[in-house]
Amino acid sequence: MTDDGAFRMMAVRTTDTVRSVLRAQGLDVGTPEARLLGEMVTGAILFRETMSPTLRVQGVLKGAAGSGTLIADSHPDGWSRGLVQRRPEAPSFRLGAGAVLQMMRSLPNGELHQGVVEADERGFDDALMGYMQLSEQIETVVRCAVIVEDGELKAAGGYLVQLLPEAPDREAAVMILAQRLEDDFDDIRGRLVATDASPDHLIEEVFYGMPYTPLGDSEVRAGCDCSHVRILAGLSTLGPDDLQEMVDAGAPLEIGCDWCGAEYRVEVEALRHLLTSS
């Protein structure tokens, strides 16, 4: 945060996290949905750390013309994950007319705060900035990037800067920072590759000449909350007829997690126990 209380900034390196998420989804890193999903995971982390650091955040990006849905999920203990939902016959994922971004975050009272904005061709981070302005009513600049070279993910990361209510001269502060970000930081791809997506570099450069105080850092990693117990809990919601059919089949169930790709095996005896307990 700048020492005059005008701005706060979050910056993140998500190279390894995005690489793991794309691998789990089986995505070619050069595809539009891979780049956008990586940007969404990056943006969800920045959004959570800024607005709800101790609570869960989820972003849902619905593509134009039925081109699919991308979901980014960020949890307070530091792990994040992503999911692609597309029909085999769907066109390549794209933004534009009809595409929308939905952001959801938990509130301390347990309620869910959510908002929806259009997601046009300008990109995911512009849609996220639109959401921050419309739903959170906070002046925010966001830039996220995923850089692929020669078929390899080289770097991923981004930053989020907010104008705080305590800013002594809001109009002047907005003009100064807007000019700096537009001139030098609108496209951060080169900086991310050159610095291994260093968050410290982004903060130091954006706040160059502005006294500021680091307030802390957090671990970022790919992860998932799937487990054998959760699989059994999901199966327990099935009706007796469905469970009986599985038991009669006489073979274990093999169930994969759509998020991380982990495989779980449910033995017939476990299915029989669920049936008798239902």
pLDDT at 74: 97
pLDDT at 169: 73
Please tell me whether residues 59 and 40 are part of one structural domain.
Answer: yes
Strand 100-106, strand 253-256: pairing? unpaired
Q: Both tokens of residue 129?
A: 């900035």
How do residues 194-234 score in pLDDT, each as one tens digit? 999 999 999 999 998 889 999 999 999 999 999 999 999 99
Please tell me whether residues 179 and 241 are part of one structural domain.
Answer: no
Please tell me whether residues 241 and 176 are part of one structural domain.
Answer: no
Domain containing 112 — which CATH number?
A: 3.55.30.10
pLDDT at 163: 86
Nearest to 141 by CA among 156, 155, 126: 126
Q: Both tokens of residue 127?
A: 């849609």
Segment 70-98 mean pLDDT: 95
Please tell me whether residues 128 and 194 are part of one structural domain.
Answer: yes
Please tell me whether residues 85 and 170 are part of one structural domain.
Answer: yes
Cβ-proximal residues to 107 (8 Å cutoff; 6+ apart), any chain: 52, 55, 113
Domain containing 252 — which CATH number?
A: 3.90.1280.10
How do residues 242-265 score in pLDDT, each as one tens digit? 999 999 999 999 999 999 999 999
Please tell me whether residues 150 and 265 are part of one structural domain.
Answer: no
Please tell me whether residues 150 and 190 are part of one structural domain.
Answer: yes
CA 17 – CA 153 distance, rounded (Å): 11
* Domain contains 15: yes
* Domain contains 2: no
- % residues pLDDT > 70 (the chain): 99
Strand partners, 190: none
Nearest to 119 by CA among 164, 77, 65: 65
Q: Among 222, 250, 267, which residue terminates a domain?
A: 222
pLDDT at 183: 66
pLDDT at 22: 97
pLDDT at 4: 86
Q: Rounded to the nearest 5°, which phi and psi values hold at 151?
A: 75, 15
CA 70 – CA 182 distance, rounded (Å): 28
Please tell me whether residues 17 and 106 are part of one structural domain.
Answer: yes
The model carries a pTM of: 0.92
Please report, as a single letter, which amino acid is at residue 225: D
Residue 121, burial from CB neighbour count under 10 angstroms (0-12, 13-18, 19+): exposed
What stretches of the chain adopt beta strand conformation (E)?
7-13, 57-62, 69-74, 79-85, 100-106, 112-118, 140-149, 152-163, 221-222, 253-256, 263-266
Please tell me whether residues 214 and 239 are part of one structural domain.
Answer: no
* Domain contains 1: no
| Cα distances (angstroms) measured from residue 1 to each of 92, 177, 215 | 40, 14, 7
Q: Among 199, 222, 245, which residue terminates a domain?
A: 222
Please tell me whether residues 258 and 188 are part of one structural domain.
Answer: no
* Domain contains 254: yes
What's the mean pLDDT when you consider all of the chain? 92
136 falls in which pLDDT band (50, 70, 90)?
confident
Please tell me whether residues 246 and 152 are part of one structural domain.
Answer: no
Domain containing 273 equals: 228-277
Please tell me the total count of domains within the chain: 2
Q: Among 222, 248, 265, which residue terminates a domain?
A: 222
Print burial letters for 219-250: b (CB count within 10 Å at least 16), e (below 16): ebebbbebeeeebeeebeebeeeebeebbeee
How do residues 161-195 score in pLDDT, each as one tens digit? 998 887 777 677 777 777 777 767 778 999 999 99
Please tell me whether residues 217 and 260 are part of one structural domain.
Answer: no
